């Protein structure tokens, strides 16, 4: 889905985004590897195969899992560590190269010869020299310490102009650029020129255009969609005018609550960075939450390169933010204290080290296992195939320390089942079963089972739309019991599972005064109370939040 919550470059605290385009260089992606219909940004399939056997065996969940152990969790530490290491020292990010610059916590210990053998442990030596290398250009993009990047950052000014759509279009790969806002009042007013002032003041609802959908795989559709969304979001106008402004605030509020309640920092090792791994991080919509829960380190990965770039820009701006000395506003501007790094990659196909190590050599050794793996509004894309779910859970389990939490938000399979059983749907124009309302819709590709229980539990596709956010993007039903049973197989035990409405009702008293004023005010209902109502309520009720804990 949606990122109903975000997928949005703008601040999740409800403030309209600073309209500021920061030009950074292109991301030095590892070469895409095409294999059949599968295109990825990461390492070769041969390399991957060393980590994950594709042959499978039956698990307790009644499904298949990678072969090699009776319990997937039993061989986790080893599975990421049997890696042939090139003796050539990989280049590291230039953002750490300034000798006086403060280094991110994970670089404060020295690279060890056996770094690939240590996935699953944390080094506590914070006193040695950082990993450094030359090749600054290539790896300077998505590192964390924004200080040394400051010369690249164009700071927002109050009177700064909207970006020129032509420049944005030029910056976007052709396949990722939709003819924007064909539904806008006067699109001709900006095509080929800087948008006029009247156009800038209007809000333009997001609309994606993806050519030849039927011939594209899910990754290509998802990537194109979220890339387009990233480019267009800069041109849409004041975010407060979005038809899903309240819904976004509500969903952000839920994520604050989940992360606030369930990220447990490790305390036993002094000086160790508390770390969150944000899988499918989008445009960094959860960065403010990392500051809110006071972590040391954020790692974001997403398959959409434009989103990752945007997340990095957003982080950099907030890290290097200028705060006036005499600031008196209640709305305190805060500079991020935590460090962050970002990478483009497919979290459902490749091991995390394969995605991170090429750009951040030593990162696995220094930051993993992490305190929390978060996957917000994205796990449903993995349920296309059983292999993808196994790859994801393998990544989650191996990335987490004991006692660490796996926190996510997904469409509720109970909600979907109820809709089907109650026949609460209408045929769409093509005769397909569809439910939803003015804000969202779910359209099944094939006739759903009458009892609402999908068998087998993978590959059950529907197309999801959310006004101003998601345009008919394929998603897959996540039967919760299947997820729970598979998680058990990976040493992850269910701690919490609740519908969004219940989460809000139970937790908001604790969070009401702690959350940003704009976020709270952005959830005000027509009766003066706070929360979701009407169509928004049904649209957010489609989701649940879950928390698993890594036991061993």
Residues that bind ligand SAM (CB under 6 A): 1-3, 5-7, 219, 222, 226, 280-282, 285-286, 302-304, 307, 346-348, 376-378, 381
Q: C-beta of 493: minimal distance to ligand SAM in Å?
A: 23
Q: C-beta of 364: minimal distance to ligand SAM in Å?
A: 18
Q: Can you give the C-alpha Rg of the chain in angstroms?
A: 22
Q: C-beta of 341: minimal distance to ligand SAM in Å?
A: 15
Q: C-beta of 534: minimal distance to ligand SAM in Å?
A: 22
Q: Are 311 and 26 in contact (CB under 8 A)?
A: no
Q: C-beta of 206: minimal distance to ligand SAM in Å?
A: 12
Q: Indicate the residue among 78 and 385 with the shorter CB distance to ligand SAM.
A: 385
Q: C-beta of 39: minimal distance to ligand SAM in Å?
A: 11
Measured distance CA(80)–CA(127) in Å, rounded: 26
Q: Indicate the residue among 152 and 213 with the shorter CB distance to ligand SAM.
A: 213
The SS3 assignment for 38 reads strand
Helix 305-319 crosses helix 218-233 at what angle (to 10 degrees)?
Answer: 40
Q: Indicate the residue among 131 and 343 with the shorter CB distance to ligand SAM.
A: 343
Q: C-beta of 27: minimal distance to ligand SAM in Å?
A: 14
Q: Indicate the residue among 3 and 536 with the shorter CB distance to ligand SAM.
A: 3
Q: C-beta of 338: minimal distance to ligand SAM in Å?
A: 17
Measured distance CA(335)–CA(318) in Å, rounded: 5
> Using CB atoms, what's the residue nearest to ligand SAM?
282
Q: Indicate the residue among 190 and 464 with the shorter CB distance to ligand SAM.
A: 464
Q: Indicate the residue among 184 and 416 with the shorter CB distance to ligand SAM.
A: 416
DSSP H or E stretch at residue 51: helix 45-51
Short-list 389, 338, 344, 408, CA closest to 367: 338
Q: C-beta of 409: minimal distance to ligand SAM in Å?
A: 7
Residue 142: partners with Cβ closer than 8 Å, 6 or more residues away: 27, 93, 308, 309, 312, 341, 342, 343, 359
Measured distance CA(497)–CA(258) in Å, rounded: 10
Measured distance CA(266)–CA(161) in Å, rounded: 44
Q: Indicate the residue among 222 and 503 with the shorter CB distance to ligand SAM.
A: 222
Q: Indicate the residue among 280 and 501 with the shorter CB distance to ligand SAM.
A: 280
Q: Indicate the residue among 61 and 311 with the shorter CB distance to ligand SAM.
A: 311
Q: Are 505 and 511 in contact (CB under 8 A)?
A: no
Is the backbone peptide bond immediately before 369 cis, with ω within 30 degrees of 0? yes
Measured distance CA(419)–CA(475) in Å, rounded: 17
Characterize 78-103 residue by residue with b for buried, 16 or more Cβ atoms within 10 angstroms of its Cβ, and e for exposed: ebbbebeeeeeebbbbbbbbeeebeb
Q: Indicate the residue among 162 and 286 with the shorter CB distance to ligand SAM.
A: 286
Q: C-beta of 350: minimal distance to ligand SAM in Å?
A: 9
- Residue where the block lists tokens 């944005």: 168
On the 0-12 / 13-18 / 19+ scale of CB atoms within 10 A, 450 is exposed
């Amino acid at each position: 889905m949606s990122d109903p919550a975000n997928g949005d470059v703008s601040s999740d605290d409800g403030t309209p985004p600073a309209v500021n385009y920061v030009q950074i260089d292109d991301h030095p992606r590892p070469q895409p590897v095409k294999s059949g219909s599968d295109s990825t940004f990461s390492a070769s399939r041969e390399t991957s195969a060393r980590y994950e056997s594709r042959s499978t065996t039956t698990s307790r969940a009644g499904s298949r899992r990678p072969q090699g152990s009776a319990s997937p969790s039993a061989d986790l530490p080893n599975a990421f560590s049997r890696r042939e290491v090139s003796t050539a020292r990989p280049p590291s990010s230039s953002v750490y190269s300034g000798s006086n610059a403060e280094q991110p916590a994970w670089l404060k210990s020295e690279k060890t010869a056996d770094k690939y053998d240590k996935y699953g442990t944390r080094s506590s030596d914070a006193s040695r020299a950082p990993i450094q290398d030359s090749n600054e250009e290539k790896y300077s993009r998505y590192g964390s310490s924004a200080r040394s990047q400051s010369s690249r950052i164009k700071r927002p000014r109050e009177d700064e102009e909207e970006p020129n759509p032509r420049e944005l279009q030029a910056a976007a790969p052709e396949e990722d650029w939709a003819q924007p806002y064909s539904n806008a009042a006067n699109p001709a007013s900006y095509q080929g020129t800087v948008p006029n002032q009247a156009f800038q003041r209007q809000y333009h609802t997001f609309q994606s255009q993806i050519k030849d959908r039927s011939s594209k795989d899910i990754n290509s559709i998802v990537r194109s969609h979220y890339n387009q969304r990233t480019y267009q979001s800069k041109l849409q106008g004041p975010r407060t005018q979005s038809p899903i402004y309240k819904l976004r605030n509500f969903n952000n509020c839920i994520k604050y609550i989940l992360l606030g309640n369930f990220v447990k920092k490790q305390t036993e090792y002094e000086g160790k960075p508390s770390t969150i791994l944000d899988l499918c991080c989008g445009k960094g919509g959860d960065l403010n939450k990392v500051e809110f829960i006071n972590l040391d380190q954020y790692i974001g990965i997403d398959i959409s390169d434009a989103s990752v770039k945007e997340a990095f820009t957003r982080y950099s701006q907030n890290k290097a933010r200028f705060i006036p000395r005499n600031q008196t506003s209640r709305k305190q501007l805060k500079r991020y204290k935590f460090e962050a790094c970002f990478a483009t990659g497919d979290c459902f196909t490749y091991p995390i080290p394969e995605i991170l190590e090429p750009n951040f050599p030593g990162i696995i050794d220094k930051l993993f296992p992490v305190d929390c793996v978060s996957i917000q509004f994205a796990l449903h894309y993995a349920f296309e195939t059983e292999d993808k779910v196994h790859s994801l859970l393998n990544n989650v389990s191996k990335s987490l320390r004991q006692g660490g939490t796996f926190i996510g938000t997904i469409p509720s399979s109970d909600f979907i089942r109820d809709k089907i059983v109650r026949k609460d749907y209408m045929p769409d124009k093509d005769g397909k079963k569809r439910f939803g309302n003015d804000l969202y819709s779910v359209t099944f590709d094939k006739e759903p089972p009458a009892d609402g229980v999908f068998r087998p539990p993978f590959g059950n596709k529907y197309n999801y739309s959310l006004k101003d956010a998601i345009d008919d993007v394929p998603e897959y039903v996540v039967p919760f019991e299947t997820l729970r049973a598979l998680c058990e197989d990976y040493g992850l035990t269910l701690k919490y599972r609740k519908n969004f409405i219940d989460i809000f009702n139970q937790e908001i008293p604790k969070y009401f005064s702690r959350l940003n004023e704009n976020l709270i005010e952005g959830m005000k209902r027509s009766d003066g109370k706070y929360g979701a109502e009407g169509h928004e309520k049904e649209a957010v009720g489609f989701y649940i939040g879950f928390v698993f804990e890594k036991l061993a």
